[in-house]
Chains A and B, each alone.
Chain A
Amino acid sequence: MTKKPKKKPAPQPACMSLSSSVDELLADALKTEPGAQNTGRTVLTFKDGANGDMAAMFQASGARVADARDYVDQSVDLSQLSDADVLMLPEINVAVMTPRAVEASAVGEMSALSSDSPIASIDPEHFVHAIDKSSEFMRGFLQATRAIAEGQALLESEPDLMVEAEASGVTWGLAACKVPESSRSGAGIKVAVLDTGLDFGHPDFVGRRITGKSFVGGTEQDGNGHGTHCIGTACGPQSPTGPVPRYGIGYGAQIYVGKVLADNGSSVGTSVLLGMNWAIANRCEVISMSLGGRTSTVYQPYVRAGQRALDNGLLMIAATGNQRSLTAAPANSPTIMAVASLDPNLKRSNFSNYGKVEIAAPGRDVLSSAPRPELYREAAGTSMATPHVAGCAALWAQTDPRLRGKALWDRLQRAARPLSEPAKFVGSGLVQAPS
């Protein structure tokens, strides 16, 4: 019953061709915005089987289309593509587009969220770099462009995260997110977790500043365990009281427990909206939601809620869902950051939803807090990935008071570690904590 069409994404800044060198891309980008992170080109991910239709649509719009399959071993040299506006990479369902092609084909006007759309996602192409290391900046970028051109996975070698984690006394998820190396605790930042509540008597949370509110009747005490687990990852202690590795990220953050799910793990949208309203009213800079429905239809009330959060300098973060299907509400809202799940080998978890994905985080074999008497347990799901992002968001928010709302969203994506899988599965990559 929505009355007005959604606003379309803003057009990309005009610049270059597909054959532009890294130097040219950087020069163009920096003219537009100091510290720019986007190249100006667009990466469009299309759905399985849509390659032919997409290529035909681009050609009909007057764009000049190159196809990786026309090259030996699909090894494309971008510098030789001066005549092309679009490079089709059918192996990974991706088209790299110049601003001219984006404008001519009007893909920005096409919804990536409707079920009949051939488009899974439309993202700006980013420069890829290691923070504050200029040599790695160039190496990362060249690696990424080579991978795109060749239709292959990034050539990085993955460290053994389990070994690394054991050595540093943290969970594999915290090691992967570089949390132990961070000097931040989330102090001064309010993190709301809208879930099944918290075991307020858990020894790891004694002495913490916690505010609670139930929107499903009763108290905020967690009779399920899901909420206690999520809060543990996002805001758990630096040194757990039990014989387990560190599992919490924002140990200095102020915790807001919004119980919007009953102890059976279910609820209705109104309770979630009440919790969102409460978290915004309390100006919680980070609002974590490991919940969702089974539909991939965009739900306008969630879109508004996410926008109101951003308008107030707050960031809503939500799980994509665990059905191996398109991202569910509320994470599919364009105003809410969607989190996918990764396995310890940094490949996407096979249950993780896809399509609208902004970022990815550890979501399998995740150890965190559990209600007494159990105290600790392992769990899996995009529910477990989401509080990794929320915790890291709190750390980033502590580093700079300007990192709020959309600026925080952008910072998380820019700092993410690129992964070898398409953006429709892992977004910008693995969330990383600040140093």
Chain B
Amino acid sequence: MDDTQRWIVTVEPSADLADLSQRLQSQGCAVEHALEELGMLVGVCSQTMADSIAALPEVKDVSPEISTSIDPPDLDDAP
């Protein structure tokens, strides 16, 4: 079963983002974005690979991508 999804990899401040990106690419993670200001990589891979990425010492957190919206209130809602 294909369980690949998009992950947000937050690295430790001292980590080399470009170097980590290359290593993840070589291990099969499709890195889509390197967010230099935030210290994050966005990539697509399996849950198993995400688990192994999370175990790297220079990685602080690996989180799945989440959805976002403006989600307005019901405008008929009385004060």
What residues of chain A lie closer than 8 Å to B35, measured between beta carbons? 273-274, 277
Question: Residue A300 at the B interface, CB < 8 A?
Answer: yes
**CB neighbours of A2 from chain B (8 A):** 60-61, 63
Chain A minimum-CB-distance residue to B74 = A351
A380 touches B68 (CB 8 A): no
Give the shortest distance, in Å, between A294 (CB) and chain B (any CB).
Answer: 7
- Chain A stretch 241-300: residues in CB contact (< 8 A) with chain B: 260-261, 265-274, 276-277, 280-281, 290-295, 299-300
Q: Is A138 an interface residue (CB 8 A)?
A: no
Partner of B69 from A265, A274, A308 at Cβ < 8 Å: A265
Q: Residue A381 contacts which of B63, B65, B68, B73 (CB distance < 8 angstroms)?
A: B73
| Alpha-carbon distance between A299 and B38 when the two chains are bound, in angstroms | 14
Most buried by B among A265, A269, A290, A312: A269
Do A273 and B77 have beta carbons less than 8 Å apart? no
Q: Tell whether A301 is near chain B: CB-to-CB under 8 Å.
A: yes
CB distance from B43 to the nearest CB of A (A): 10
User: Are B66 and A295 in contact, with the CB atoms below 8 A?
Assistant: yes
Q: Mark B42-79, 1 if CB is under 8 A from A, else 0.
A: 10000000110010000111110111111111110111
Contact among A273, A323, A351, A381 for B38, CB-based, below 8 A? A273
Asked if A3 and B61 sit within 8 Å, CB to CB, the answer is yes
Q: Is the CB of A301 within 8 A of B38?
A: yes
Please name the residue on chain A nearest to B34 by beta carbon: A277
Total contacts A to B, CB within 8 angstroms? 136
Which listed residue (A304, A329, A381) contacts B10, Cβ 8 A? Answer: A304
Partner of A322 from the list B10, B32, B71 (CB cut-off 8 Å) is B71
Q: Does A17 contact B (CB under 8 A)?
A: no
A interface footprint on B28-44 (CB within 8 Å = 1, 0 otherwise): 00001101111110100
Known: A1-B63, A350-B79. A380 touches B38 (CB 8 A): no
Q: Is the CB of A380 within 8 A of B72?
A: yes
How many residues does chain A have at the interface if contact means C-beta atoms less than 8 Å apart?
A: 52
Task: Report if A383 contacts B (CB, 8 A).
Answer: yes
B20: Cβ under 8 A from any A Cβ: no
Given contacts A277-B35, A304-B10, A380-B72, contact A266 B67 (CB under 8 A): yes
A323–B71 Cα distance when bound, in Å, is: 9
Any A CB within 8 A of the CB of B8: yes
Chain A residues, Cβ within 8 Å of B72: 226, 265, 322, 379-381, 383
Residues of A contacting B36 with CB < 8 Å?
A: 277, 281
CB-nearest residue of chain B to A324: B73
A300 interface neighbour in B51, B61, B73, Cβ under 8 Å: B61
The answer to whether A291 and B68 touch (CB under 8 A), given A1-B62, A280-B38, A301-B10, is yes
Contact in complex: A226, B61 (CB < 8 Å): no
Report the separation of the CA atoms of residues A392 and B15 in the bound assembly, to the nearest whole angstrom: 37
User: Which chain B positions have C-beta within 8 A of A379?
Assistant: 72, 75
A304 with B68, Cβ < 8 A, contacts A1-B63, A364-B79 known? no
Measured CB to CB, the residues of B under 8 A from A are: 6, 8, 10, 32-33, 35-40, 42, 50-51, 54, 59-63, 65-75, 77-79
The 10 closest A-B pairs by CB, nearest first: A351-B73, A322-B73, A280-B37, A277-B35, A300-B61, A269-B66, A265-B70, A301-B8, A266-B69, A1-B62
